[in-house]
Amino acid sequence: MASNHTQGGSNGGGDDSAQRRPPEWADGLKQLYDSVVEEALPDSFKDLLDRLDAIDPARGKGAPRDGRETSQ
Amino acid sequence: MSDGPASQPGGSLSAIDKASFKRDLTDVVPHLRAFARGLCGRPDLADDLVQETLLKAWAAQDRFEPGTSMRAWTFVILRNAYLTDMRRNRFRGEYDEGVAERILTAPAGQEEPIHLSDLHRALLTLPAERREALLLVGAGGFSYEEAAAICGCAVGTIKSRVGRARAALTEMLANGAIPRRSTDDEIAHRAILEELDVVAAGNGVSSRP
């Protein structure tokens, strides 16, 4: 009985190390992320920021009306 | 217009602060896109989410503390927008077909290469809170502490979510048990939505600016 218990414990230890060591796909996760970071930025983002920049956020009355909500 | 920097009703930002805010926000857009793509899978919806985030960030710019991390600040806004949109069932757990072409180099001695598309699809089957934890730490390079601050939860919670996410992905990739068909994605996504209801109700995740 006692030896059974010890075996169970060592199995649990194996699980633990699997969580601590970065798995072999870990680099893939970074690749997924980095591949998007390195994509050329669509003009729409720069356009949006330029439009926002032309508006005084404190007054905010002339909020951009391009079909998107600015409130919340 | 920007011709009246002297009078700033309600805003404590100087013209210089405003310019640097815009520059920082611009710099962080590629990261917002990457985070959003990982969260919701589809590039077009991810970009919509980023635009929404930019609008909200801009509107809240006097709440940004200069010198703190713009990436962390905007990630909070993006994740809250994502959670709100997801509860409105806007995202359907679809994945990026584009990455299906790219293949990870197989580790030596392993016949089956891991496809990035498999990894992405497996990632999308995870519960939202584990997926975002793994994205922040494993892809975005945030520390556990930073990720906890972004998600508004304890560091131990983030560690546990990352651990569970890693274990689930490792299991899925090792067994090849990755949902292939969109019906599977839908089932997985429904589970995510149900879990999210619990999360949103309990943690008030959307109440943090």
Is the pLDDT at B140 greater than 50, yes or no?
A: yes
Rounded to a whole number of angstroms, the distance from the CA of B129 to the nearest CA of chain A is 16
- List CB contacts (< 8 A) between B30 and chain A: 36-39, 41
- Residues ≥6 apart with Cβ < 8 Å to B190: none
Burial class (CB in 10 A: 0-12, 13-18, 19+), A40: exposed
- Residues ≥6 apart with Cβ < 8 Å to B107: A24
- Would you state the pLDDT for residue A25? 83
CA distance B81 to B86: 8
More confident residue, B133 or A23: B133
The predicted complex's ipTM stands at 0.71
Is the pLDDT at B180 greater than 70, yes or no?
A: no
Q: What is the CATH number of domain B103-204?
A: 1.10.10.10
Q: Tell me if B169 and A52 make a contact (CB, 8 A cut-off).
A: no
pLDDT tens-digit series, residues B17-33: 888 999 999 999 999 99
**Is B49's Cβ below 8 Å from some Cβ in A?**
no
**Beta bridge pairs of residue B103:** B115
CATH 1.10.1740.10 range(s) for chain B read 15-87
More confident residue, B179 or B99: B179
E strands, B70-200, where?
Answer: none
- Would you state the pLDDT for residue B196? 59
CA angle B73, B74, B80 (to 5 degrees): 100
In this structure, which topology does domain B15-87 adopt according to CATH? Rna Polymerase Sigma Factor; Chain: A (1.10.1740)
pTM of the model: 0.69
CATH 1.10.10.10 range(s) for chain B read 103-204
